[in-house]
Structure 1
C-alpha cells in the first residue's frame, strides 16, 4: 500500500494578469493527482484568470468577495487554516507570503514553503524578519536565493526552481511581413520601467519613425505613461492595451519583444515571447541573462538607459534576418532549458522531500 496523498494548498493574493498567477495555475493543473491533492486559495475576488480556474476544474476558494485584501480575507484564511491544516502550505505572491507564515504558524501548519518570485520580493516580503517562519524556501532565480542567503537563510532551506514554459502553447506560426512592431508585456509599475522604453522610442532615428510599440498591461502608472507618450509626441506610435490572459495574438503580430525592467527575477513574458519565436531586447537584471543569451537569442542592455535601449532596437530593426535567427534560437533555448515538465517535476520532488520530513 502506497503513502497517502499529500495535501498541498497554494495561496495567491489575486488572479490578476501576472506571471506568477500563470505559473501557479500550470503547476496546479499538472501536479500528479495520485500523489497530491492540491487546492488554490485566493485572498480576494476578481481577476483575469478566474475563468481559467473554473475551466480547468482546479479546486479553489475565494476568501473574500471584495476586490482588495481586507480583514475578511485574513479572517477566512485563519479559519480555513485551522479547519484544514494542509500538509504543505505554499504562498505564491508577496501578501500571502507575509500572512500565511504568520497565521500558518499560529494554526500549526506542518510545513510552510515560502516562495520568492519577483525582483523585489525579498524586501517586500520582509524576509529579513520573516524567513525563519517558513520551513523551506523556493526561489525562481539564483539572485533571490543569494538574497535570502545573505539574510542568514541556511542553504539546506533553499531550493532553486526556475520557471517553466510549454513551448508548444506559444507557437505563433510563420510570420509574414508585418513591419516594425515592438511589443512590451508587463504590469504598468515602476519596476517594469516603461518610461525608459517610451524615451527610447522617441530617440529612434528618422528611418525608424515607422516603428510602432504596443504595451500590454494594467497598473498604477497607466495614466502617467500615457501622458508621457503624448508629451514625447508618440501618440500615433504607441498603443496601450489592457492585460489579458491570451497573449499569443500579440506575440504573433510582433517583430520583437522589449523588456526594460529595473528589477526582475525570471520574467514569464520573456519566456513567452522567446517561445513564440521573437528576438528579445531586455535589461540585464535578476535572472534575465538566463533567458536571453546575449547576441544569440537577443540583446541585453543596462537598466534605465534609454539611449542604449534605442540603439539595441535599431540594431535588430536594421538586421531583420539576424533578428529572425535570434527568435528561432530563443525558441530552442526555451525548449532545451525551461520546460514546464521539468519545473513540475522539480516541485513534485521538493514536495515529496518536505512531506518525508513531516512523516519521519
Structure 2
C-alpha cells in the first residue's frame, strides 16, 4: 500500500517520438486512465515530439526530447543517462526496438525497475529474424524485469525466438475509448472536397502512417480494380485514407494516372479521426506487418466491419465471417473481392460492424488495459521492496 504522504513513484516512458500513431495514442490513454495518485509519469522521446499530445502536460506529465539525429548518434545515450539521473525514476518503461538500448542506459543510471514493451516490429526487421537485433535482445534480456506485448503473436515471438521466460512476458491488449469512438447516429457527415461524397456513396476508409509497411498502395490498387469493373454497385465507391508519410504522393499519383482522383480523398494527418471514421462504411487495413492495431479497434468501436491483412495481431482482432474478412498481404485482387462483398451486401456490413463494437466493449476497455499495466508496475515494486 502506497503511503499517501509520500510522493507517488515516477515512471519514465521511453519512446522513439511522440507523434500521431497507435503506440503513442496508447501511451497517452494509459497515462490518462491510470488511477490518480498511484504513479507519476514522464515521457522521454528519443527524437522530437509534436504538439498533438500537449494536453497531457496539464496532468503534470513532463515531456523531454533527446533530439536524436538519424543514423548513429552516440550522444543521445549520454543525454538519456543525464536525463534519467536528473529525473531519478522508480521505473523505466521502454518500447519497441528503438527504445531497447534504453534498458542498458537505465541500468547504468541506477534505475532498479525496468519494463520493456513490444507493440510492433521495427520497419527494418518486420519478421523479427535479423541476427543483429536478435543478439541485441538476447544480450539485454537479463536487464529487463518484465516484458509486455500487445498481442499473443508478439508474446510467442519473444518466448520462442528470443528466449524470454514465459512468466516474465505478459500480453495486455490495447484498449479503445468506446465513448469517443461510437457508431454514427444518422446520415454520414459530408466530408472531403466538394463532390467527393454523394447520397449513396460507399466509403472505404483507412487510417495510418503512409509508409511502405502499411502498404496503402495495395488498397489503392484494389480500389482502382473495383471502380474499373462494370458492376453498378462499384460506381458508389469512394476512398478515404487518413494519414501522411512517404507513400502518400505515390498513392495520389496512382489515383491521378487512373483518372480517379476525384473519387478519393487523402487529406494527410487529421485530429478528427473519430468523426471521419463515422463517415466510413468499411475500414481496411492493408499492412504488410502489424502488432495490434489501435486503428482497427477504433474502427470496430465505431461499428465498422473490417477488412485486414492476415498478419501480426490482426487475426486476434478480426474474426472472419463474424466481424470482418482477412486477406493475405500485398494481394489487391483478394482485397478487392472482400471489399466488393461489403459494397454489394450492405446488411453483412451492418451485422459485422455491430458484432465488432460488442467485441471491443467486452474485451478492449481502456480501464481494463490501465489496470493490467498497473498490476505489473505494482508487482515489480513489491518484489523490489
Once residues 66 and 117 of structure 2 are traced to their aligned partners in structure 1, the CA distance between those partners, rounded to angstroms, is: 23
Retained in 2: the 8 A contact 1:31–1:348?
A: yes
Once residues 175 and 308 of structure 1 are traced to their aligned partners in structure 2, the CA distance between those partners, rounded to angstroms, is: 31
2:177 matched residue in structure 1: 166
Retained in 1: the 8 A contact 2:174–2:369?
A: yes
Q: In the TM superposition, what whole-angstrom CA distance separates every residue of 1:250-303 from its partner, at most 9, and x where no partner exists?
A: 111111101111101110110001101111111111111221121111111111
Structure 2 residue 340 is matched with structure 1 residue 320: no
- How far apart are 1:232 and its partner, in Å? 3.7
Count of residues in correspondence between the two structures: 357
Q: In the TM superposition, what whole-angstrom CA distance separates every residue of 1:155-202 from its partner, at most 9, and x where no partner exists?
A: 122111110112111124324265211101111112111111111111
- How far apart are 1:84 and its partner, in Å? 2.9
SS of 2:63 mapped into structure 1? strand
Q: In the TM superposition, what whole-angstrom CA distance separates every residue of 1:112-166 from its partner, at most 9, and x where no partner exists?
A: 2111101447568925423413222100011111111122111122111110112
SS of 2:44 mapped into structure 1? strand
SS of 1:167 mapped into structure 2? coil
Counterparts of residues 1-360 of structure 1 (less than 5 Å): 2-3=2-3, 5-47=8-50, 49-54=52-57, 56-64=58-66, 73-98=76-101, 100-120=102-122, 122=128, 126-131=133-138, 132=141, 133-150=143-160, 151-176=162-187, 179-204=201-226, 205-206=229-230, 207=232, 208-359=234-385
Once residues 191 and 290 of structure 1 are traced to their aligned partners in structure 2, the CA distance between those partners, rounded to angstroms, is: 19
TM-score scaled by structure 1?
0.92
SS of 1:20 mapped into structure 2? helix
Question: Which runs of 5 or more structure 1 residues have no equivalent in the other structure?
Answer: none
Once residues 261 and 80 of structure 2 are traced to their aligned partners in structure 1, the CA distance between those partners, rounded to angstroms, is: 45
After TM superposition, the structure 1 stretch with the greater mean CA deviation from structure 2, 282-291 or 126-135, is 126-135
- How far apart are 1:243 and its partner, in Å? 1.6
Retained in 1: the 8 A contact 2:118–2:147?
A: yes
- How far apart are 1:105 and its partner, in Å? 2.1
- How far apart are 1:86 and its partner, in Å? 1.4
TM-score scaled by structure 2?
0.86
SS of 2:43 mapped into structure 1? strand
- How far apart are 1:228 and its partner, in Å? 2.6
Question: Which runs of 5 or more structure 2 residues have no equivalent in the other structure?
Answer: 188-198
Retained in 1: the 8 A contact 2:40–2:61?
A: no
TM-aligned CA distance change 1:164 to 1:267, over 3 Å: same
Retained in 1: the 8 A contact 2:15–2:99?
A: yes
Once residues 2 and 50 of structure 2 are traced to their aligned partners in structure 1, the CA distance between those partners, rounded to angstroms, is: 38
Once residues 50 and 75 of structure 2 are traced to their aligned partners in structure 1, the CA distance between those partners, rounded to angstroms, is: 18
- How far apart are 1:334 and its partner, in Å? 0.3
TM-aligned CA distance change 1:200 to 1:325, over 3 Å: same
TM-aligned CA distance change 1:128 to 1:146, over 3 Å: farther
2:192 matched residue in structure 1: none
